[in-house]
Chains A and B, each alone.
Chain A
């Protein structure tokens, strides 16, 4: 039993740990042997099924100068399961020659310490032997494969499209899928130009299979920029060995293959700055058109309408900006202008980046009447004609009627009270920021039982009301009141009589007589003094059974008799007459209820 319990406890505990504790850390270097003047890249990868992975603790590395070169995070959510990994990059530069150990990197998560394996690095004097790398430009032709990198222009303006084409030529069977590493493109904004093209071509009488990848580049700033080397790694059949099995037939079955690394030459690009003019600065580079519209042309003061400005054309559409300052200046006389919301649609047909960018600007008129959204100027630089061009939207007329609300809440939100006093306009810039603190509450659903609970006070009230009215009615109808109370009073007085210990026989019999006559007085709504046997007989004649009337009259006589008789066994006589009285009155009450 104890073992079972411990097992149950252990399973539950490990489940908890597994749910919230899956985390791992690893470290790797790009080379284990470097020269003193060289540097190496160290990557520490933390992975786990949580989104907020902790940062690793860096060990002391006295033999190297260490620089952080940033981190990259990757989070994937599949079926609600988060998988996240963070790669921390460090550049290590050796201080001296020798063999050194990089101590483990560690992380502490939920009290548990995870760490990497130690890494050994050898630092040597002079240059380290590099692995032979195949170069391109037909050098690999004997092996039947080569790569080339081309650009459509070697001189371009800032933000002008440069189309970079990478081609991989092969005429031999590859033993693995080629691995393409894109060149380093520092200083460029990159836009992939799918699809990858595959076709055959003939070069020097040889038929090659070509894989072609195109990329659009947009330089961010002017100057000399370089497109780095693109690298392709692939496995090809090894044709060099001169043994018995070098026959092509055997090679088909026994060739182990060898890795070939092909690398393109770096390409230098001259990026020209946009021509300087005193007045103009471009919002985009390429060729563009502009149009504008509003969602409604009739509105009220302080009611928001949407001004849509659409810019279409060829160029880096993502980087197109709107002259917001100009727009705000132009419109601020008669409108409150909010920040624009932008969206874009890119088309890469024929490997040319083009498309449209839509700016939606919420504006609210502040005055009534026919208002004009004036023409808005957009300036772009045309790299073909090498000059700035101005394009304009058409003016739009809007009919603004007075606000139906004199002190509208929208207006309230535009101006703070203080600012309104000073006549300053404070524009709402945005939605409010996300909430950084949170409160988790339990889900409560409405139960139908509440309806019954809500009616309970009403029912209690109805019961009280009924009782109250009954009492009221009785008090208003004295006859009925006395009639209905008679038996209750009779019983109460009999009980009281039974409890009387200090009274003598005559007193008790007199009290019983009084109770008896009182009962009939109440029942008949008469004064007690006028209650006689004759009255009782007259009142109940034909209403009650004759026998019952006779019994009542007999009891009446007996009571009168005992009031004045001198008997010895007084206690027994009283008990008898009391019992008889109770019995007859109860019988009478029963019969009266039947009437």
Chain B
């Protein structure tokens, strides 16, 4: 009886304590972000970015993330004139919050500064606005409605049902195409070149022949890795080669 009583009490206290620790962690995080904001306002961008990065790492360790923190890190790097890093952090922020206007504005601004093409057709603009997870939930919902409707239609074949069925079929088909495309995209690994460097012909220091230069801020597709090198592909230039790992940063949370 006593044992059960203590077990219950320990559980309650542990829950309360873990809640207190979490609240304390949140308070601490908020205070750190605030202090980094102040440092940024004072023009201390290096220090501000270090604190933001620490906050981002702490949050990730806790299974959380915050688009605003990555966005602010991007701003710090932009102020330090490290455009490659800035783009990398804006891309991370966009992974979390793809429809955020400030993130998209700064990302576009930095791409224009780097001299990249930023115009996209309307479909691609909307396509980029949604995360794979979001499409997944929407498709699941539409999926259920679509098939339930088809089942109902089997038994009650009315004229109006045909129209609704056609509309639902089109929506469902488009969503399935987007879903597959997004899924395939999610399997790919992209990276940002953080420093100007050169693409090599092989992943061997001894036989590393530099083939073509690559500017900072370039987005590359990572194909594979070997020791200190990544095999990369530049879709816009149709160039493939090897690049040192410390010259690029993988866009992954």
Give the interface of A toward B (CB within 8 A): 1-2, 5, 8-9, 12-13, 16, 19-20, 50-52, 75, 77, 80, 82, 295-296, 304-306, 338, 341-343, 362, 364, 404-405, 408-410, 413, 428, 431-444, 446, 450, 453-454, 457-458, 460-461, 464-465, 468
Structural contact, A446 and B64, CB atoms closer than 8 A: no
Take A52-B31, A80-B54, A409-B118 as given contacts and tell me if A454 and B143 are in contact as well, using a CB distance cutoff of 8 Å. Answer: yes
Contacts A5-B9, A82-B54, A404-B119 known; list 5 others, CB within 8 Å.
Answer: A19-B24, A77-B51, A434-B72, A438-B68, A440-B64
Q: With a CB–CB cut-off of 8 A, which chain A residues contact B186?
A: 446
Structural contact, B66 and A439, CB atoms closer than 8 A: yes
Take A1-B6, A306-B115 as given contacts and tell me if A441 and B13 are in contact as well, using a CB distance cutoff of 8 Å. Answer: no
Structural contact, B72 and A435, CB atoms closer than 8 A: yes
B211-253 contact mask (Cβ, 8 Å, vs A): 1 or 0:
0000000000000000000000000000000000000000001
The reply on B171 being an interface residue by CB < 8 A is: no
Q: Bound state CA distance, A457 and B139, in angstroms? A: 11
B59-74 contact mask (Cβ, 8 Å, vs A): 1 or 0:
1100111111101100
Q: With a CB–CB cut-off of 8 A, which chain B residues contact A305?
A: 115
The reply on B106 being an interface residue by CB < 8 A is: yes
Structural contact, B68 and A432, CB atoms closer than 8 A: no
A-B contact pairs, 17 of them (CB 8 A): A12-B17, A50-B31, A75-B39, A75-B51, A80-B57, A82-B32, A304-B115, A341-B113, A408-B119, A432-B106, A434-B37, A438-B68, A441-B67, A446-B133, A454-B140, A457-B143, A461-B147
Structural contact, B154 and A465, CB atoms closer than 8 A: yes
Take A16-B21, A444-B133, A446-B133 as given contacts and tell me if A435 and B68 are in contact as well, using a CB distance cutoff of 8 Å. Answer: yes
Closest 4 pairs between A and B when the two form their complex, measured CB to CB: A52-B35, A457-B147, A438-B68, A435-B68
Number of residue pairs spanning A and B whose beta carbons lie under 8 angstroms apart:
150
Q: Bound state CA distance, A410 and B155, in angstroms? A: 54
Structural contact, A464 and B10, CB atoms closer than 8 A: no
Q: With a CB–CB cut-off of 8 A, which chain B residues contact A458?
A: 143, 147
Structural contact, A304 and B154, CB atoms closer than 8 A: no
Q: Bound state CA distance, A382 and B3, in angstroms? A: 89
The reply on B36 being an interface residue by CB < 8 A is: yes
The reply on B160 being an interface residue by CB < 8 A is: no
- Which one, B29, B115, B253, contacts A296 given CB within 8 A? B115
Structural contact, A446 and B66, CB atoms closer than 8 A: no
Closest to A403 in B: B119
Q: With a CB–CB cut-off of 8 A, which chain A residues contact B96?
A: 441
Q: With a CB–CB cut-off of 8 A, which chain A residues contact B17?
A: 9, 12-13, 16
Q: Bound state CA distance, A52 and B51, in angstroms? A: 11
Structural contact, A435 and B71, CB atoms closer than 8 A: yes
